[in-house]
Structure 1
Amino acid sequence: MELRFFEIYRNGEYLRLLLEGAGVSAGLTVAGGIAGFILATLLAAVRYWRVPVLRQAATGYVEFIRNTPLIVQMFFVAFGLPMLLGYRWPFWGHALLALSLNFSAYFAEILRSGFVSVAKGQIEAARALGMRRFLIFRRIVFPQAAATMYPSLNSQFVFLFLTTGVMAEIGVRDLTYAGLYIDSRSFRSFEVFFTLTVIYVLMAIGFKSVLKLMHDRLFRWRAASR
């Protein structure tokens, strides 16, 4: 078999599509990760403090999201919700919402495990000092849980990034969409998908490097306390 990678890297349109697609994939993943983390914190806090009614609702939501495929969630958000609620968003908006919901469920379970790992003695001591529940959560529970579970959050973030290629199925012009488009024009499937593989690997390594730097900056206090 003759490999003809030059048909890709010598074509300006193909390179532009790959670059734009990588930017869309990275941008939606980061935005979805941030929104998902914020929602996950609320979900995990509700479950940790055993808030009546809300705890059961949060548990049901987490289990529903974690036990359904991302592609099904994408289609439901992109085509089901607009029919039910009567709104219309661009494809990337639907993808961002679906990613945020998906990220939040997985992050919530990881954070909840981190909250539970915080020593009960610290919480009881804080209560004895007159600290309120929200202050205990913000100053004692959340910082320690975030530091403890940061590696797991990193791994989950990168894993979810690698599944975002399904966005192409609802029309988002992400990296996978660019690859499918190029393949349909060039008929060089091996070269195209090998190129996609390399780009995804490089992006995943890039995310890991950035997250490692963030860990070193955010949790210096943890290293100093050891």
Structure 2
Amino acid sequence: MFPDLRNQGGDMELRFFEIYRNPEYLWLLAEGVTLSALVTLAGAILGFAMAACLAVTRYERIPVLHWIAAAYVDFIRNTPLIVQLFFVAFGLPQLLGYVWPFWAHAVLALTLNFSAYFAEILRAGFQTVDAGQHDAARALGLPRFVRFFKIVLPQSIAQMFASLNSQFIFLFLTTGVISEIGVRDLTFAGLYIDSRTFRSFEVFITLTVLYILVSLAFKGLMRLVEKRAFRWKGAR
């Protein structure tokens, strides 16, 4: 009644050469890796700056603004990235009447997404600073602004750097959704090659390896940044 499929799996032939022998496909993959990495870095840098503002607003409990910041963080963290991406790419241009390239929409969506997650990590880091250090800074007569940027912020970032790094890598691995709006990222390149070669297994194995390599490169870069920026942490 049913066909015998027991020996069919052994007949599968892997044909990676259809990818690496084609200059067009290699260029698409290189372009995709570069764009994915640059869009992620841009979103992370802008998102971190925005996250710092959000975290400070909530930590200092600035009237009214800290409620707005809390609502924003909860909204972003409880909606899928792809929904945020579609809203930024198709909803905002209609509401505000502007035209941007799709990669710019992707950067904006990632910035908004990164900012909410980074803000919560930073806020948790602010709360780890010992109260005695606040008291000592006040006893020295340091202004509130100086206390925060000279004492609280550096220690918080150093304390939570591993969490920020892990969240950054995780969000990089989810950026494949930007291909849904036509951004020629790594996932877009893989889907294009798959549609031409019909070698899905080989294509997605290649994408997996490339995503792993970029993630490892980012981890190495972040480890170097941590060692250079927080030398005092290891000396304590």
TM over 0.5, yes or no? yes
Of 153, 163, 171, the residue aligned with 1:152 is 163
Alignment of 1:122-141 (within 5 A): 122-141=133-152
Counterpart for residue 8 of structure 1: 19
2:79 aligned counterpart, secondary structure: coil
2:144 and 2:60 map into 1 onto residues whose CA distance is: 9
1:133-179: CA deviations, max 9, x gaps? 11111000000000000000000000000000000001100000000
2:142 aligned counterpart, secondary structure: coil
Please report how far the alpha carbon of residue 15 of structure 1 lies from its aligned counterpart in structure 2 after TM superposition.
0.1
1:134 and 1:89 map into 2 onto residues whose CA distance is: 37
Please report how far the alpha carbon of residue 120 of structure 1 lies from its aligned counterpart in structure 2 after TM superposition.
1.1
1:32 matched to 2:46: no
Counterpart for residue 116 of structure 1: 127
1:55 and 1:120 map into 2 onto residues whose CA distance is: 21
1:95-136: CA deviations, max 9, x gaps? 000000000000000000000110111112212221111111
Aligned length: 225
1:173 and 1:31 map into 2 onto residues whose CA distance is: 16
1:120 and 1:83 map into 2 onto residues whose CA distance is: 48
Q: Which has the larger radius of gyration?
A: 2
1:117 aligned counterpart, secondary structure: coil
- Which portions of structure 1, spanning 4 or more consecutive aligned residues, are displaced by more than 3 angstroms? none
AA at the equivalent of 2:174:
T
Counterpart for residue 177 of structure 1: 188
1:168 matched to 2:212: no
Length-normalised TM-score, structure 1: 0.99
AA at the equivalent of 1:60:
A
Counterpart for residue 104 of structure 2: 93
AA at the equivalent of 1:134:
F
Q: Which runs of 5+ in 1 are unaligned?
A: none
Over the aligned positions, Cα root-mean-square deviation in angstroms equals: 0.6
1:6 and 1:219 map into 2 onto residues whose CA distance is: 45
2:112 and 2:226 map into 1 onto residues whose CA distance is: 24
Counterpart for residue 209 of structure 1: 220
Length-normalised TM-score, structure 2: 0.94
AA at the equivalent of 1:165:
G
1:81 matched to 2:92: yes
1:172 aligned counterpart, secondary structure: coil
Please report how far the alpha carbon of residue 46 of structure 1 lies from its aligned counterpart in structure 2 after TM superposition.
0.6
Counterpart for residue 62 of structure 2: 51
Please report how far the alpha carbon of residue 188 of structure 1 lies from its aligned counterpart in structure 2 after TM superposition.
0.5
Q: Which runs of 5+ in 2 are unaligned?
A: 1-11
